Amino acid sequence: MNRRFYLILLIALLVGIQPVFAQDEEPSTEPQETVVAEETTIDEEAVIAEETETEAVLAEETPAEPETEAVLAEETDTEEAVIAEETTAEPEPEAVLAEETEAETTEEPIIPYRVRNNSYFQESQRLARLAQGAYNFGDYDTSTSFAQEAIRYAQLSDDYVTLQMKIREANSAIAAAKYRLDWAASSGASTQFPAEYSEAETWYKESLSARIAEQWDNAIEAAYKVIELLAYIDAPKGTLPLPAHYTVRSWATFKDCLWNIAGRPWVYGNPRQWRVLYNANRSKFPDPNNPNWIEPGMILDIPSLKGERRQGAWDGSKSYPPIN
């Protein structure tokens, strides 16, 4: 479009200055306007023809663009292929979860710092530093000696850590076994399942004996036997939990004092356990230093003594099983 404009402008200039150069020539017999119109028409047609040829040349030089639908189809196929490839490369969610679960299962137990940083480990670190210092000074024999001692103490540290972790596992298993035994006794399950409870007691005693003998694996195995035997034993139906609170009544009628309250079967069944009640409720006493001064209406908390299950306040209209 710009080229056409400049051509027309050039023609207009030539037409405008032609009469100046034509003064020496003979005047034309034809009217001036006709000549100008004829020249203008010829030049414009030449320009239009030339521009048409130019556009044809440009059309030949410009490569033909592919059809829009074909391009979109090709791009879609490419994107789908890339997405399919990426999807294939990603693992299935179930496989990922299985792999993570396996990693968690094989994870090593956490070792407490005081166990890991034991005296053997500290000595192995000190000897390793001495070995490095002797090596830097070129005293290779001394460096070798220190290095060997460092390795020996490192092995002693590993053995110590293994032993301590075994002891911790044994103590934890025995504590869990005792808790289960106490629960069975306090809930009345021991009387409903006497055979299982009796066998569990035997294994518990075996675990204690093994711990005294420092046979840690045997202690752990025996404690787990207790837990397995009592794992599926439930408390008898209709058995009430032991009361967790008791409202003090008058001495004149019920003879309530810490000694007598602790001796009741559903409390501790042993009056000598009165100090447990006193320590748990000392702040409630009119004189915290005088365990004999209790008043009617005081609400005493009854802490669990043997792992028995306690819940709610004592109700005189209900029958509670005795603590065992």
Domain of 251, CATH number, reads 3.10.350
Query: Using CA atoms, how far apart are residues 224 and 173, in angstroms rounded to an integer?
Result: 7
pLDDT above 90 covers a percentage of the chain that reads: 43
pLDDT of residue 235: 66
The pTM of this model reads 0.46
Domain-located, residue 139: yes
Same domain, 117 and 218: yes
Contacts of 275 (CB under 8 A, 6+ apart): 291
Same domain, 74 and 9: yes
Distances (CA, A) of 90 to 83, 104, 222, 288: 11, 21, 47, 70
Structural domain of residue 24, as residue ranges?
A: 1-94
Q: Total structural domains in the chain?
A: 3
Residue 104 has pLDDT above 60, yes or no: no
| 202-207 LR contacts (CB < 8 Å, sep 24+) | 203/177, 203/229, 204/174, 204/177, 204/178, 207/170, 207/173, 207/174, 207/177
Last residue of a domain, one of 238, 260, 295: 238
User: What token pair was written down for 76?
Assistant: 């879609």
For residue 304, count other CB atoms closer than 10 A to its CB: 14
- Alpha carbons within 13 angstroms on the beta-carbon side of residue 189 total 20
How distant is the alpha carbon of residue 187 from its chain centre? 37
Domain-located, residue 103: no
pLDDT of residue 160: 95
CB 192 within 8 A of CB 238: no
Contacts of 303 (CB under 8 A, 6+ apart): 276, 277, 280
Domain-located, residue 105: no
Average pLDDT, the chain: 75
What spatial distance separates the first Cα and last Cα of the chain, rounded to whole Å?
110
For residue 152, count other CB atoms closer than 10 A to its CB: 14
Question: What are the beta bridge partners of residue 301?
Answer: 245
How distant is the alpha carbon of residue 30 from its chain centre? 103
Q: What is the CA radius of gyration of the chain?
A: 52
- The length of the chain is 324
Residue 222 has pLDDT above 70, yes or no: yes
Same domain, 214 and 260: no
Weakest-pLDDT range from 82-96, 202-216, 246-260, 265-279: 82-96
Domain-located, residue 102: no
Domain-located, residue 104: no
Domain-located, residue 267: yes
Same domain, 118 and 233: yes
- pLDDT (mean) for 203-207: 96
Reported in sequence order, the residue ranges of 181-251 that DSSP labels E, i.e. its strands, are 245-247
Same domain, 180 and 209: yes
Query: Using CA atoms, how far apart are residues 19 and 33, in angstroms rounded to an integer?
Result: 12
- pLDDT (mean) for 167-180: 92
Phi-psi region of 214 (alpha: psi -120 to 50; beta: other; left: phi over 0): left
